[in-house]
């Protein structure tokens, strides 16, 4: 990565600069709505005294982004910034570790700039993700599945090749690149609401800002970037995590009495993109600067239920990690009560980030089989 001393400050203005830098390389993905999911989200759960929030959802479809995930934003921004670094040798290339989406993203960004890329991927990575990464021209090296194992093999590659590390989330350049998606979502929502207001007979114009955005949180690059993109606006940002086998490290850290970041996670949650611990730089934005208003977690069954709804009701191909935010809106009673209290009769307009759509289709039958053991469903 570019030297930390040369990085742009972590502000909303820097996210705007990053957007201008990478705009030629990325798609502005669509924002979709779904009346059925709005109705389900606004229907109380069956438990006594359940919340009755009024919720309108706006889905930012990064599953339709290049390589099928938001990760290209950070990867292209990191490479563009590296190209401005006089101490970096293009001939030695770049290296990263990833379960799949960042792997493909860096491979594509490197190929687009005729740069050699090395990618360390867990041996349990889904074959389609490995094939896609290799298809973009990267050299794939396999490792164990935990973040510790990945990082050890990555260091071996750095020592042997001199390649520059482009981490999947824990660097300002990655964070700023991922935050560009938040800028787009805010602008697209404003345009949608303006169109609805102009065609409505209501004397009160609709609000031009989202009340909240929910993003999945693994290493925290996307969550912290989106939080920066909303800094100084009325839009609140929340993070969503799976709770299986302690994958909700950021949630537990956020609400711990001492606020100490958990630095190690070992989970085989079906939300494979969220198996990593939150990084140091994202944590500073999420917790220390309090730009994230809260963290929430959901179970494996709740993730599966949300995933099934998206397939059936929206006809979109998304991966389990992508629907964790939707699962929070639909099933986390603590979040739903907060929306009911703060939104009142008017309710909330909530942006949901569909972070990616890279799933091993051969595993879908197993994923929705009642007899499947959660621990054996691997989509990484």
110-119 residue pLDDT tens: 999 999 999 9
106 and 201, same domain (yes or no) = no
Cα-Cα-Cα-Cα dihedral sign, residues 355, 358, 361, 362: negative
Q: Is 71 a catalytic residue?
A: yes
* 197, pLDDT greater than 90: no
Give 241's contacts (C-beta < 8 A, 6+ positions apart).
216, 217, 218, 247, 248, 249, 250, 251, 274, 295, 296, 297, 298, 324
* 207, pLDDT greater than 80: no
Give 70's contacts (C-beta < 8 A, 6+ positions apart).
62, 101, 178, 181, 222, 353, 355, 356
Instruction: Convert the pLDDT of each residue in 265-316 to its tens digit.
Output: 989 999 988 988 999 999 999 999 999 999 999 999 999 999 999 999 999 9
Instruction: Convert the pLDDT of each residue in 125-181 to its tens digit.
Output: 878 889 999 999 999 999 987 768 888 999 999 999 999 999 999 999 999 999 999
Q: Number of structural domains, the chain?
A: 2
Instruction: Convert the pLDDT of each residue in 87-121 to its tens digit.
Output: 888 889 999 998 788 999 999 999 999 999 999 99
3-state secondary structure (DSSP) of residue 122: strand
156 and 245, same domain (yes or no) = no
Which of 101, 131, 165 terminates a domain? The answer is 165
218 and 264, same domain (yes or no) = yes
Total-model pTM: 0.92
Instruction: Convert the pLDDT of each residue in 19-70 to its tens digit.
Output: 999 999 999 999 999 999 999 999 999 888 999 999 999 999 999 999 999 9
Structural domain of 155: 71-165
Instruction: Say if 379 falls within a structural domain.
Output: no
Which of 165, 194, 224 terminates a domain? The answer is 165
* 363, pLDDT greater than 90: no
Instruction: Say if 171 falls within a structural domain.
Output: no
**Residue from 14, 42, 98, 99 carrying the catalytic annotation:** 99
187 and 154, same domain (yes or no) = no
Q: Is 99 a catalytic residue?
A: yes
**Residue from 60, 71, 236, 304 carrying the catalytic annotation:** 71
Instruction: Convert the pLDDT of each residue in 224-279 to its tens digit.
Output: 999 999 999 999 999 999 999 999 999 999 999 999 999 999 899 999 889 889 99
3-state secondary structure (DSSP) of residue 180: helix
Which of 143, 165, 187 terminates a domain? The answer is 165
Instruction: Say if 380 falls within a structural domain.
Output: no
Instruction: Say if 377 falls within a structural domain.
Output: no
The CATH number of residue 230's host domain is: 3.40.50.1100
193 and 135, same domain (yes or no) = no
* 372, pLDDT greater than 90: no
The pLDDT, as a whole number, for residue 303 is 98
């Amino acid at each position: 990565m570019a030297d930390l001393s040369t990085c742009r400050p972590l502000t909303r203005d820097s996210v705007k600069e990053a957007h201008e830098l990478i705009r030629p390389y990325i798609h502005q993905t669509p924002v979709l709505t779904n009346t059925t999911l709005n109705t389900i989200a606004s229907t109380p759960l069956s438990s006594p005294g359940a919340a009755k929030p009024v919720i309108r959802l706006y889905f930012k479809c990064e599953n339709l982004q290049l390589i099928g995930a938001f990760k290209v934003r950070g990867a292209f921004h990191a490479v563009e910034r590296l190209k401005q670094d006089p101490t970096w040798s293009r001939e030695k290339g770049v290296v990263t570790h990833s379960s799949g989406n960042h792997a493909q993203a860096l491979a594509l960004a490197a190929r687009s700039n005729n740069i050699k890329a090395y990618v360390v991927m867990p041996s349990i990575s889904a074959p389609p993700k490995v094939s896609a990464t290799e298809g973009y021209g990267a050299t794939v090296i396999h490792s164990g599945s935990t973040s510790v194992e990945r990082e050890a093999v990555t260091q071996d590659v750095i020592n042997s090749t001199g390649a520059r590390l482009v981490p999947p989330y824990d660097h300002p350049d990655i964070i700023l690149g991922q935050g560009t998606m938040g800028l787009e979502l805010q602008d697209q929502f404003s345009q949608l609401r303006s169109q609805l207001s102009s065609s409505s007979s209501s004397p009160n114009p609709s609000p031009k800002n989202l009340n909240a955005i929910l993003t999945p949180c693994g290493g925290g690059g996307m969550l912290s970037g989106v939080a920066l993109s909303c800094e100084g606006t009325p839009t609140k940002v929340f993070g969503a995590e799976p709770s299986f086998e302690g994958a909700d490290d950021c949630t537990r850290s956020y609400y711990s009495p001492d606020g100490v970041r958990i630095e190690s996670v070992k989970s085989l949650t079906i939300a494979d993109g969220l198996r990593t611990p939150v990084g140091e730089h994202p944590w500073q934005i999420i917790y220390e600067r309090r730009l994230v208003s809260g963290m929430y977690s959901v179970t494996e069954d709740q993730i599966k239920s949300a995933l099934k709804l998206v397939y059936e009701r929206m006809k979109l191909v998304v991966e389990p990690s992508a629907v964790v935010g939707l699962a929070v809106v639909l099933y986390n009673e603590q979040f739903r009560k907060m929306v009911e209290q703060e939104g009142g009769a008017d309710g909330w307009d909530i942006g949901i980030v569909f972070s990616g759509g890279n799933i091993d289709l051969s595993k879908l039958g197993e994923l929705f089989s009642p007899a499947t053991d959660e621990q054996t469903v691997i989509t990484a």
